[in-house]
Amino acid sequence: MKVDVLLGLQWGDEGKGKVVDVLTPGYDVITRFQGGPNAGHTLEFNGEKYVLRSIPSGIFQGGKINVIGNGVVLDPILFKEEAESLAASGHDLTKHLYISKKAHLILPTHRILDAAYEAAKGDAKIGTTGKGIGPTYTDKVSRNGVRIGDIFLDFQAIYNKAKEKHENILHSLNYSYDLSELETKWFEAIEYLKRFNIIDSEHVINRYLKEGKSILAEGAQGTMLDVDFGSYPFVTSSNTVCAGACTGLGIAPNKIGDVYGIFKAYCTRVGSGPFPTELHDETGKKIRAIGHEYGAVTGRERRCGWIDLVALKYAIMVDGVTQLIMMKSDVLDDFETIKACVAYNIKGQEVTEFPYSIEDNKIEPVYVELPGWKTDMTKMKSEDEFPEEFNAYLSFLENELEVPIKIVSVGPDREQTIIRYTKE
């Protein structure tokens, strides 16, 4: 068996949670392989709306196994809130959720460090969510991290050593803070965490593969936020690309099967950072309003713009995407004209390959215009109902991207999902 991987191809917020929920019936195991509680995956079904931050989006489907992999960073407080909320709505996680011993813990001081570092940047802020993700990954790569498996060792000593290191940094930054209440809640959440199945996940996942179990790996954020290949330095702190599934789960590259690449019919971005196709006009506001483009966790407004095929082709290349999934097609239902960026004009030169840096504000998107479909697609059940103009938009994208669009979403509910081709 192989591990299929599901990834966002833009700057996050593509709708990964909904698609994982839709695909889960075809898999035995759903895993998360990177990121932390800064990523909110939204799911809607049976008139209810759920936002998952750390727990895999397969948790709602029929007793499937869900694994939080070693590449994830976990905040015990936020995890406890999330798990208790799901339990209150009738979804008991203790039997079906497994957590890697090698996943790193977000400490209370990590959150404070995040705020302190961001404040020190002044006008050069990255736009962090303030959840402590960056400082936690920093400690991980500098070999100073605290892992979930440590809670079964001399944990107080391990914690105190890390806390002392962080407080020395905070004092050097002259940053004032109060740790007492946060720390109390954090240790309560650590005790809550012990209720769950904490495992050597790399052994378990590879054993599942040998047993013939089908596995779907769920990515967080998006390819253009990858720490190596994204719009650096305005990126997240982990590898969001397909290769991150190998290091974030402990599987070999030859175990990767299909790679599902998810993108919106337009483009959005949250926080700071370059965004070549961003619209600062009424069109951008209209897309935001119709698409309800606000962060699922932070509530922040998402910046909106036309689809960027230069960036999208780049993401498809580095991820090895085999199947595309287009989300929020219905948001463009009422537009007379749809635009797609097919190149960048950089200082008079037309460029079709994603450049080293897109921070230069002299980048001008080169657009192709296509007719809008001016049709309400939200009630459609099959591709036979698609209007001619929408089919033309799909054909244009498939021709440009050279990968088939196999799933189209026409609304937020799991039922508003149209599969165009059966899996080969």
**DSSP notation for 258-275:** EEEEEEESSEEE-SSS--
**Alpha-carbon distance 386 to 373, whole Å?**
9
**Alpha-carbon distance 289 to 347, whole Å?**
33
- Catalytic residue status for 41: yes
Residue 146 token pair: 């605290």
CA distances from 359 to 8, 266, 355, 362, 364 (A): 21, 20, 10, 9, 12
**Alpha-carbon distance 291 to 270, whole Å?**
14
**Alpha-carbon distance 149 to 393, whole Å?**
49
- Catalytic residue status for 110: no
Give residues with Cβ within 8 angstroms of 45, minimum separation 6: 21, 60, 413, 414, 415
Give residues with Cβ within 8 angstroms of 319, minimum separation 6: 5, 7, 9, 223, 241, 242, 259, 261
**Which of 4, 13, 319, 333 is an active site residue?**
13
Phi, psi for residue 79 in degrees, rounded to 5: -60, -45
**Which of 4, 21, 28, 41 is an active site residue?**
41
Query: Distance between terminal CA atoms of the chain?
Result: 15
DSSP 278: B
Using CA atoms of 236, 10, 70, 207 in order, give the dihedral in degrees to the nearest 10. Answer: -170
**Alpha-carbon distance 77 to 93, whole Å?**
16
**Alpha-carbon distance 251 to 43, whole Å?**
28
**DSSP notation for 88-101:** HTT---TTTEEEET
Q: State the catalytic residues.
A: 13, 41
